Structure 1
Amino acid sequence: MVASLARTERMPLTEGAWVDVCRSWLPRADEVFETMVAQVPWRADKRQMYDRLVDVPRLLHTYMIGEELPHPVLTDAREALSEHYLPELGEPFRTAGCCWYRDGRDSVAWHGDTIGRGSTRDTMVAIVSVGDPRRLQLRPRGGGESISIEMGHGDLLVMGGSCQRTWEHAVPKVAHAGPRISVQFRPFNVF
């Protein structure tokens, strides 16, 4: 069973965006990490960038609606998040996108999850992090001062309100980092 979300701290941003953080929220984080490394069917992906095809700098897998998650603690986490955020979100979290950042060279560029309903409506993305700590950076879309939140082993971060439309987030490359996996729980039709 996951820990209570009562100790979650909310950080208001601008334009109706906010971020919730709950440190060391996920129980058995070591076991979850090891299970995910061994059992998730990780894939390397490529993306078009300008005039060439480039490797995505992390490994990926998405668990769609109805697919069993690789560890029961993750199922408990999704259910607890759905129950806690239902009054604000109005629906449960349904999918789980997984990213394996193998070392400091793996990253994700500035973006917002604006494919699907996130482009026009407030939504939420809940991120659980296991493994080595990494910084998640957030900045207002269109420019402005960025903020940095270190995601530690077992930490939870929830981006809500207008965050996906009015802010961007990234996990930058760093000189030294061990492996980290993030699990992003999303409602239906948010990417």
Structure 2
Amino acid sequence: MLERLIKHQLTVPDSTIYYLPNWCDTTTADRFFERLKHELPWEQGEVKLFGKSHRIPRLQSWHGDPGVRYTYSNVELQAQGWSPALLELREKLLALDLTPNAVLANYYRDGMDSMGWHRDNEKELGARPVIASVSLGAERDFILRHRATQQREVLRLAHGSLLIMAGDTQHYWEHALPKRARVSRPRINLTFRTIRS
């Protein structure tokens, strides 16, 4: 399915990862950022850890086809419909033979908003999920950590870039977006995925 992207594949063991730094040109990426900032109903959700509720350090919005549900950190998300900008981006992914039916949007207001270590390995995603991650706005460090060897890989995700994690990536690697105090600009990240019933 992703054979046409082979020239964009990264050399990372136990993974299938593609990175397209200029998937959207700067003008198009700027336009999508502004539209999504205003189109999506951003919320600061909560997760439960060890019986206590904690507000997540970013804003989120969950969208997809009718009836699509997704559960992570014991929180079930009911998908809202696709916004016009999200539909346009999904059409661009369809041109790469990707067929997502949902997207989790994260809005990082500045460098103090973050995402902790995790894997996208929920049962609804299947055994070998394909996650297509679109970055808009401030460049941020995206860190991968191998679960067995603790090897780390750092990718600086550019404005308008597309990162695709496929194959066994979610089995062998965790990933995170750490805090960066020097980053003052916001970032929107969209992780398109296929949810299976």
Q: TM over 0.5, yes or no?
A: yes
Counterpart selection for 2:23 from 22, 25, 45: 25
Structure 2 SS opposite 1:43: coil
CA–CA distance in 2 between the matches of 1:112 and 1:70?
29
CA–CA distance in 2 between the matches of 1:82 and 1:9?
17
Within 5 A, what are the aligned runs for 1:56-95? 56-66=56-66, 67-71=81-85, 74-85=86-97, 92-95=99-102
CA–CA distance in 1 between the matches of 2:163 and 2:152?
16
Establish whether residue 182 from structure 1 lines up as the match of residue 189 from structure 2.
yes
Q: What runs of 5+ residues in structure 2 fail to find an aligned partner?
A: 67-80
CA–CA distance in 2 between the matches of 1:51 and 1:136?
29
Q: Is the 2:5–2:18 Cα contact (8 Å) retained in structure 1?
A: no
Within 5 A, what are the aligned runs for 1:32-51? 32-51=32-51
Match of 1:155 in 2: 161
CA–CA distance in 2 between the matches of 1:95 and 1:8?
27
Give the drift of 1:94.
1.1
Q: Is the 2:39–2:83 Cα contact (8 Å) retained in structure 1?
A: no
CA–CA distance in 2 between the matches of 1:103 and 1:80?
27
Counterpart selection for 2:115 from 90, 103, 108: 108
Q: What runs of 5+ residues in structure 1 fail to find an aligned partner?
A: 87-91
* Structure 1 stretches of 4+ moved >6 Å: none
* 1:25–1:174 distance in 2 versus 1, CA, 3 Å: same
Within 5 A, what are the aligned runs for 1:156-175? 156-175=162-181
Structure 1 SS opposite 2:96: helix
Kindly provide the amino acid, as one letter, of the partner of residue 104 in structure 1: G
Q: How many residue pairs align between the two structures?
A: 177
TM-score (norm 1): 0.84
- CA deviations 1:104-145 (Å, max 9, x no partner) are 111111111111244x61121000000000011111124421
Q: Is the 1:140–1:166 Cα contact (8 Å) retained in structure 2?
A: yes
Give the drift of 1:157.
0.4
Counterpart selection for 2:150 from 144, 150, 155: 144
TM-score (norm 2): 0.81
CA–CA distance in 1 between the matches of 2:63 and 2:157?
22
CA–CA distance in 2 between the matches of 1:81 and 1:170?
23
CA–CA distance in 2 between the matches of 1:64 and 1:186?
9
Q: Is the 1:40–1:70 Cα contact (8 Å) retained in structure 2?
A: no
State the identity %: 29
Give the drift of 1:153.
0.7
Q: Is the 1:57–1:108 Cα contact (8 Å) retained in structure 2?
A: yes
Structure 1 SS opposite 2:35: helix
